[in-house]
Amino acid sequence: MSANVPRLYHFAAAFGAGGLLTLMVLFNGTLAVHGSLFFASWVPHLTGTFAALLLLLILRPKRVSATRPPLWAYLGGVSGGITVMLTSATMNTALALSGTIALGLAGQVLFSLFADMRGLFGLPKRMPSARDYGALALILLGSVILIFFGRSA
Amino acid sequence: MIVFAALAVLAGALVSLSRQINGRLALSTSAMESSFWNHIVGLAFITAAALLFGGLFAGDPLAAPWWAWLGGPVGVVFIAAGSWLIPRIGAAQTAMLIIAGQMISGVLLDLIMGAPGNPLARITGVALIFAGMYVGQPAKAVASKQT
């Protein structure tokens, strides 16, 4: 299957989602200051499960397809859980938080480029354009500057 | 050191892997249902890991301010957004724009909270990110495909 043509509202939504991520990092990070890292990930997963259930009951979104998705498609949360543990392991090394974040961005971008090229896990295949690479390079460069120089410790 | 660096890269890759898998689930179900499964499966996994390693209730979490407990519902919308976006604009653009949004809102938050920082680095970083978003904006892609 081919991917839809991206629209400006898709861009705006993704950018806004990044803002939500900042809030999550602030909330969960503050929880981690007082409790354990496990706790700071366990609580949002617990409250999030109930919040999602509530939203499902209210919105009742239609299932896109009548055929059942493969079982592995339900395992996205495991990958997220492992991320929490890996991050908590590297944060306290010489990498510190800034190094962990910067290398994490590299991992995200590299994997997602590869996933697009191969259409991994049954998602639409798309070859990144020269413009995509240019945009990525600029955004990563800006991010690295903000991560390492934007905050004076 | 190199091991930890590799683990940090792996942690990032797992973020994208998770989004890819959740996106696949959303293709058959819905973005919100995908977010629900991500949370309940993640909850089971973290509970098992916490039981194995212990220390879940270490520290004094009840001393945290009330708003620190609100991450869950925000995460539900965040995961649903990622699951909705990834089949539509692709993994790389989803990741790129979420990173851009995270970085710029992070600077905004720092400014609001009065966190100390280097103004020149902040301006340069934000300008580069906006430049990247301008280069990658879909308006051009749409126009070039329609002609």
| Percentage of residues of chain A with pLDDT beyond 70 | 95
Largest CA distance in chain A: 53
Phi, psi (deg, nearest 5) at residue A5: -75, 125
What are the pLDDT digits (tens) for A97-122?
788 888 999 999 999 999 999 999 99
Q: What is the pLDDT of residue A133?
A: 94
Q: Is the dihedral of CA A117, A123, A126, A131 positive or negative?
A: negative
Instruction: Output b/e per residue, B117-145; b: 16+ Cβ within 10 A.
Output: beeebbebbbebbebbbebbebeebeeee
Residue A152 identity: S
Q: Tokens 């653009």 label which residue? A: B93
Partner residue opposite B18 with nearest CB, options A3, A42, A79: A79
Q: Which of A7, A53, A78, A118 to mutate to test the interface with B (most CBs of B within 10 A)?
A: A78
Average pLDDT rounded to a whole number, residues B13-22: 95
Answer whether residue B147 shows pLDDT above 50.
Answer: no
Structure tokens of B21? Answer: 């898998």
Per the CB < 8 A criterion, the answer to whether A80 and B37 are in contact is no
Q: What is the pLDDT of residue A1?
A: 42
Average pLDDT rounded to a whole number, residues B14-20: 95
Q: What is the pLDDT of residue B140?
A: 52
What are the pLDDT digits (tens) for A45-86?
999 999 999 999 999 988 888 888 999 999 999 998 888 778
Q: What is the pLDDT of residue A84?
A: 79
Average pLDDT rounded to a whole number, residues A28-53: 92
What are the pLDDT digits (tens) for B47-97?
999 999 888 888 898 999 999 999 999 999 999 999 999 999 999 999 999
Answer whether residue A94 shows pLDDT above 90.
Answer: no
Helix (H) or strand (E) holding A27: helix A8-34
Q: What is the 3-state secondary structure (H, E, C) of B55-105?
A: CCCCECHHHCCHHHHHHHHHHHHHHHHHHHHHHHHCHHHHHHHHHHHHHHH
pLDDT averaged over every residue in chain A: 88
Q: What is the pLDDT of residue B137?
A: 83
| Percentage of residues of chain B with pLDDT beyond 70 | 94
User: From the CA of A60, how many Å to the nearest CA of chain B?
Assistant: 9
pTM of the model: 0.91
Q: Which of residues 45-74 of A touch B (CB under 8 A)?
A: 45-53, 55-56, 59, 61-65, 67-70, 72-74
Answer whether residue A2 shows pLDDT above 60.
Answer: no
Partner residue opposite B72 with nearest CB, options A34, A43, A78: A43
Structure tokens of B79? Answer: 């995961």
How many other C-beta atoms are found inside a 10 Å radius of the C-beta of residue A26? Answer: 19
Q: What is the 3-state secondary structure (H, E, C) of B32-69?
A: HHHHHHHHHHHHHHHHHHHHHHCCCCCECHHHCCHHHH
Q: What is the pLDDT of residue B130?
A: 95
Per the CB < 8 A criterion, the answer to whether A77 and A123 are in contact is no
Q: Where are the domains of chain B?
A: 2-56+71-138
Give the distance, in angstroms, between the CA of residue A68 and the centroid of all CA atoms in the same chain. 25
